[in-house]
């Protein structure tokens, strides 16, 4: 949980300190890379760390990730200009990628699927609390101390996490195997392909036009790199992203569904604060509260989701959650103009409750469908797709909002056209200082912003429908479970329910008295197995 807090805090804590950082180091034109660089490094390393944790174990990957994150934090605190700070943020992201995916995998290792909602809800609470408290904490540090302390406070937290993991995380004892072969060429290919694609998506329409030379060159280079990476992975003995990740219906369906989740999450996280400030006239603090109510209902709903999926199954629970989310997102454009703050806050509260029923059962379902040796790869795969969905959503919905705003400005009545901003870059400044506009022009501009956000939410609802279709068309009715009883069904799924193609021969069946593969020393699964064995010996 401490390791998760590190990754969550540093994704948001720097946002409110940007003015102080730019004032000290300069580099206003490129400061967005403080966020984009961190996001790129986390996203493209998720599948790599997932495979490494399956090869070498979770503990060494977690320890290396924390050390790398702390080194990046220390270097950020010593940055001398914006370029060096961006480079060191990328180092932080390389460590953050290890933390995000591996912590989720460890939770699945230590708890059977009936117990996982409890620990996953705690992890979700840590993430939500850190995400909400991050901007406030960053603002306090920047206001009353030097901004460099934003990175230095990571050191004591990280060192405690390092000590606890080193002393108390005990992994299952694995049989000796030949020296593992790491697909470093595939890892480099995935890193390069992801970096090129995400750079094109993050910077397109911001640093340069979408159909300009830089955007088209990056997209073409990403496609070429993807083709090369696929060729490398097909020949690799231990590929970073094995073919079975996409050949198994369960994992493929969840990858696509969580990619849709990443896509739709851009609407509330990026555009709702702007809507709250520009249309409703709220302060930045109040606008943050409108969004934060979603982080209150999400962990609660996730914790209670086990009562649903244990009765109806992972797939049906997720379908219920994403179906409700689509309806809730469709309700946003129906809000009156200008409306009251409680109305979008209520929608965000309900959206968090719906997505808690959607995301957690899918993550637990995938983790339950694979054994220890594949769990890190599977978890890294679904988290990677969610992160890519967020990057695609930021680019796609940004284009939708800009196009709507540009069309409204072009169609403005002649009486107020002269008072309106001439370009999109001036819109945010005009909305921050509405007193400089006539009352009619300010109201027209607010209505244009309201329409832009409405279209973004319609796009988010469409993304929810696509996730719904991915589960209906691809996911098996009953998710296969590895070493545990089936969930939401009376009989285990047939082999056709999950078209798994193993890269290697399956191990020989274990004797009936053998412990389940997830039963590492000290885990809940191990205790339950011991109790079952005692019951057998006593004739129960």
Would you state the pLDDT for residue 469?
A: 95
Tokens read off for 64: 């290396």
Asked whether residue 188 carries a pLDDT value surpassing 50, the answer given is: yes
Tokens read off for 515: 């412990």
Asked whether residue 538 carries a pLDDT value surpassing 70, the answer given is: no
Would you state the pLDDT for residue 500?
A: 38
Average pLDDT over residues 364-392: 83
* Strand boundaries in 129-251, DSSP class E: none
Helix spans in 153-183 (H): 154-168
Contact 214, 208 (CB under 8 A): yes
In three-state secondary structure terms, 445 is helix
Contact 49, 93 (CB under 8 A): no
Average pLDDT over residues 76-81: 90
In three-state secondary structure terms, 406 is helix
Helix spans in 332-438 (H): 342-368, 372-410, 414-417, 427-432
More confident residue, 120 or 428: 120
Candidate from 107-116, 173-182, 333-342, 408-417 with smallest mean pLDDT? 173-182
Q: How many CB atoms lie within 10 A of CB 399?
A: 13
Would you state the pLDDT for residue 466?
A: 95
User: Closest Cα to residue 78, out of 159, 146, 162, 23?
Assistant: 146
Judge residue 192's burial from the number of C-beta atoms within 10 Å of its C-beta, 0-12 exposed, 13-18 middle, 19 or more buried.
Answer: middle
More confident residue, 10 or 110: 110
Q: Of the ranges 169-173, 215-219, 375-379, which is most confident? A: 215-219
* Four-CA torsion 522, 526, 530, 531, nearest 10 degrees: 100
Q: How confident is the model at residue 472 (pLDDT cuts 50, 70, 90)?
A: very high
Contact 405, 424 (CB under 8 A): yes
User: Closest Cα to residue 156, out of 229, 47, 70, 95?
Assistant: 70
Tokens read off for 244: 């079975």
Would you state the pLDDT for residue 10?
A: 77
More confident residue, 490 or 86: 86
Residues 6+ positions from 41 with CB-CB distance below 8 Å: 89, 90, 91, 92, 93, 94, 96, 97
Would you state the pLDDT for residue 534?
A: 56
Would you state the pLDDT for residue 492?
A: 41
Would you state the pLDDT for residue 419?
A: 67
- What is the crossing angle of helices 342-368 and 372-410, to 10°? 150
| CA end-to-end distance (rounded Å), the chain | 39
User: Please, what's the b/e burial string for 474-484 (b: 16 or more CB within 10 A of its CB; e: otherwise)?
Assistant: bbbebbbbebb
Cα of 293 vs its chain's centroid, Å: 18
Work out the angle at residue 291's Cα, subtended by the Cα atoms of residues 76 and 461, and round it to the nearest 5 degrees.
Answer: 110
What are 190-247's pLDDT values in tens digits?
878 877 887 787 677 666 777 788 888 988 998 999 899 888 888 877 777 777 888 8
What are 380-434's pLDDT values in tens digits?
888 888 888 887 887 788 778 878 887 887 777 776 766 666 665 666 666 666 6
Tokens read off for 304: 């209670």
- What is the crossing angle of helices 154-168 and 2-9, to 10°? 150
Helix spans in 57-115 (H): 58-77, 82-110
Query: In the beta sheet, which residues pair with residue 204?
Result: 208
Work out the angle at residue 102's Cα, subtended by the Cα atoms of residues 96 and 104, and round it to the nearest 5 degrees.
Answer: 110
Tokens read off for 299: 């962990």
Distance CA 161, CA 155 (A): 10
Q: How confident is the model at residue 495 (pLDDT cuts 50, 70, 90)?
A: very low
Q: How many residues does the chain have?
A: 540
User: Please, what's the b/e burial string for 352-386 (b: 16 or more CB within 10 A of its CB; e: otherwise)?
Assistant: bbbbbbbbbbbbbbbbbbbebebbbbbbbbbbbbb
In three-state secondary structure terms, 232 is helix
Distance CA 194, CA 37 (A): 12
Contact 421, 311 (CB under 8 A): no
Would you state the pLDDT for residue 519?
A: 45
User: Closest Cα to residue 4, out of 114, 117, 121, 109?
Assistant: 121
The half-sphere exposure of 474 on its side-chain side, counting CA atoms within 13 A, is 18
More confident residue, 265 or 429: 265
Contact 381, 50 (CB under 8 A): yes
Contact 390, 333 (CB under 8 A): no
What are 270-306's pLDDT values in tens digits?
788 778 877 888 776 677 778 778 878 888 888 888 8
Report the mean per-residue pLDDT for the chain.
79
Work out the angle at residue 143's Cα, subtended by the Cα atoms of residues 141 and 144, and round it to the nearest 5 degrees.
Answer: 70
Average pLDDT over residues 47-76: 89
Would you state the pLDDT for residue 385?
A: 87
Q: What are phi and psi of 348, to 5 degrees?
A: -65, -35
More confident residue, 185 or 473: 473
What are 324-348's pLDDT values in tens digits?
999 999 999 999 888 888 999 999 9
Would you state the pLDDT for residue 411?
A: 79
Handedness of CA 480, 485, 488, 494 (dihedral sign): positive
């Amino acid at each position: 949980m401490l390791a998760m807090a590190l990754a969550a805090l540093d994704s948001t804590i720097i946002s409110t300190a940007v003015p102080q950082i730019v004032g000290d180091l300069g580099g206003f034109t490129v400061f967005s890379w403080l966020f984009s660089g961190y996001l790129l490094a986390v996203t493209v390393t998720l599948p790599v760390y997932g495979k490494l944790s399956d090869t070498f174990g979770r503990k060494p990957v977690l320890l290396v990730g924390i050390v790398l994150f702390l080194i990046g934090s220390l270097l950020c605190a010593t940055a001398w200009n914006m370029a060096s700070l961006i480079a060191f943020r990328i180092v932080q992201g390389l460590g953050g990628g290890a933390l995000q995916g591996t912590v989720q995998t460890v939770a699945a290792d230590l708890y059977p699927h009936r117990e996982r909602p409890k620990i996953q809800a705690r992890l979700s609470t840590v993430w939500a609390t850190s995400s909400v408290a991050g901007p406030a904490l960053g603002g306090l540090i920047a206001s009353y101390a030097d901004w460099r302390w934003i990175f230095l406070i990571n050191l004591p937290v990280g060192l405690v996490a390092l000590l606890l993991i080193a002393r108390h995380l005990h992994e299952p004892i694995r049989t000796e195997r030949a020296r593992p072969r790491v697909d470093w060429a595939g890892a480099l290919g995935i890193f390069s392909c992801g970096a090129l694609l995400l750079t094109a998506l993050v910077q397109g329409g911001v640093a340069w036009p979408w159909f300009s030379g830089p955007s088209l060159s990056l997209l073409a280079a990403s496609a070429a790199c993807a083709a090369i990476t696929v060729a490398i992975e097909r020949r690799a003995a231990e590929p970073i992203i094995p073919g079975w990740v996409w050949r198994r219906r369960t994992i493929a369906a969840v990858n696509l569904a969580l990619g849709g989740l990443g896509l739709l999450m851009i609407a509330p996280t990026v555009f709702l604060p702007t809507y709250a400030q520009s249309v409703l006239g709220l302060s930045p603090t109040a606008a943050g509260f409108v969004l934060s109510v979603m982080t209150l209902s999400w962990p609660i709903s996730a914790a209670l989701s086990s009562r649903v999926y244990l009765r109806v199954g992972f797939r049906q629970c997720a379908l219920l959650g994403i179906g409700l989310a689509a309806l809730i997102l469709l309700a946003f454009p129906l809000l009156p103009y200008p409306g009251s703050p409680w109305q979008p806050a209520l929608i965000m509260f309900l959206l968090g409750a719906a997505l808690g029923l959607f995301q957690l059962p899918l993550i637990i379902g995938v983790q339950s469908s694979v054994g220890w040796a594949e769990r890190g790869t599977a978890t890294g795969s679904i988290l990677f797709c969610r992160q890519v969905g967020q990057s695609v959503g930021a680019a796609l919905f940004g284009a939708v909002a800009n196009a709507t705003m540009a069309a409204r400005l072009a169609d403005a009545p002649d009486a107020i056209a002269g008072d309106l901003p001439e370009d999109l870059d001036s819109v945010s400044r005009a909305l921050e200082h509405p007193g400089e506009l006539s009352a009619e022009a300010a109201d027209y501009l607010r209505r244009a912003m309201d329409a832009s956000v409405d279209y973004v939410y319609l796009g988010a609802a469409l993304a929810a429908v696509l996730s719904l279709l991915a589960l209906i068309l691809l996911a098996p009715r009953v998710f296969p479970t590895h070493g545990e009883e089936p969930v939401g069904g009376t009989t285990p799924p047939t082999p056709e329910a999950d078209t798994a193609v193993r890269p290697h021969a399956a191990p020989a069946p274990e004797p009936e008295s053998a412990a389940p593969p997830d039963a590492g020393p000290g885990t809940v699964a191990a205790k339950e197995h011991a109790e079952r064995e005692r019951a057998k010996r006593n004739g129960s």
